[in-house]
Structure 1
Amino acid sequence: MEKHIVILTGAGISAESGLGTFRDVGGLWDQYDLEEVATPDGLARNPALVHDFYNARRANCLGAAPNAAHVALSRLQAEWSGNVTLITQNVDDLHERGGFDDAIHMHGQLMRAKCASCDGRWDAPKVMQHDAPCPHCGAKTTRPDIVWFGEMPYHMDAIWAALDEADIFASIGTSGQVYPAAAFAQQAAAAGAATIELNLEPSDTARHFQQARYGPATEIVPNWVAELLEQTPG
């Protein structure tokens, strides 16, 4: 029987590409009040500030390149005989640029825009203007297509279904502090999956994993992928 691998990635997989993790001291997040730049109320109060923040994040992302961990996961997708489902908490596009097809972006995508009025979506320009009209309805209520604090993550029905079907669940580069993603290991384990954490250090949910490997993502992820591909998937 071909095994279904489900992978969750967090900010730690992109850190070695130069994209700061959520809690980096002195990083981009540390320079802003998150209530002002990552909530609908913040957008209503000061749309220019919000767009400036995400324009800076977009520029940072465009200046980064996929690393060996991203590339290894694309190799796994290409060479594994069963299904590989990749769920990411990241809003960057490094998985796509690393060669992975159809990653599930549960927190949205930095390179996409949406309209707060009509919910239309489109590819974001490199620099978004706070007063740019929506190409669908014309309203000047454009925003990044990002899940903000208090909003529901995307694609949850597909994610829970994948977790229930997983034979192997791997969590890579995530702190285990943000729900619902922090509950994914337990959900997969309850469905019978083998679970493994790959991280720089133990996460807050490390106790829920049967196996663990710690170290830089660019080292431990390619090694893990190579070992999987040496096995007979059935």
Structure 2
Amino acid sequence: MFSHILRRCFHTPFKLQRNVCPLSRSPSLNPASVYATKLQAFHTSPPFFKKKTPKESETKDLGVLQRSMKSLKDSPKPALYLSLAGLIPFVSVPLLMVIQGTYSPELAFAQITYGAVTVSFLGGKRWGFALPENSPAKPDWLNLANSTVPPLFAWQALLFKDATRGAIMLVMALGIALHYDLSLLPTYPGWFKVLRVVGTVVMVLSLLATAALKTISEEQLGNRRNKWQNTKQ
């Protein structure tokens, strides 16, 4: 009887251990679950490694454009309307040439003359900005001497007999004047800078359009002369 009790006491723990061991295994030790966890960790990427989508870049571009248009709307009405009206002589010259279908040297010279006057005005307004006592720009050699550079380019444009060279000279003068207004005098208000950019782009495109029409007209005239000479021979 005593030996039977001892046998029961010694064999019971082993039976319990065999029954408990399968239950003691954690599901995380399963090879399939471990492999799935590794795959999940491998495919997970931090958010800062993701590339920007085209929609995000387009949204930023639209934001800059909207801010520019908003600042342009904030400009004083006289400055906005007078600036837009001042672009009419530039745009009307190539437009009239296209409508008439012929290149007009008189209209081209009128556009270059008006462009020279405009460039001189853009250069001279820096004196008006630098001369007041409370102005952030000082009337030093840098500000006052730089204002004479665009008028010199304008004068040189009037000396050219070729309208194409005169237009190119005016384009250079407009670029210099715009650089002065945007970089050297950052205290200008935002609406004025946007207005200057828009006006410069329109003036440059109008001058280049006139130069292109002159080149096309000369090519057509040359082709006609060649045909006439060929038929005469």
Higher relative helix content: 2
Q: TM-score, normalised by structure 1?
A: 0.28
Larger Rg: 2
Q: TM-score, normalised by structure 2?
A: 0.28
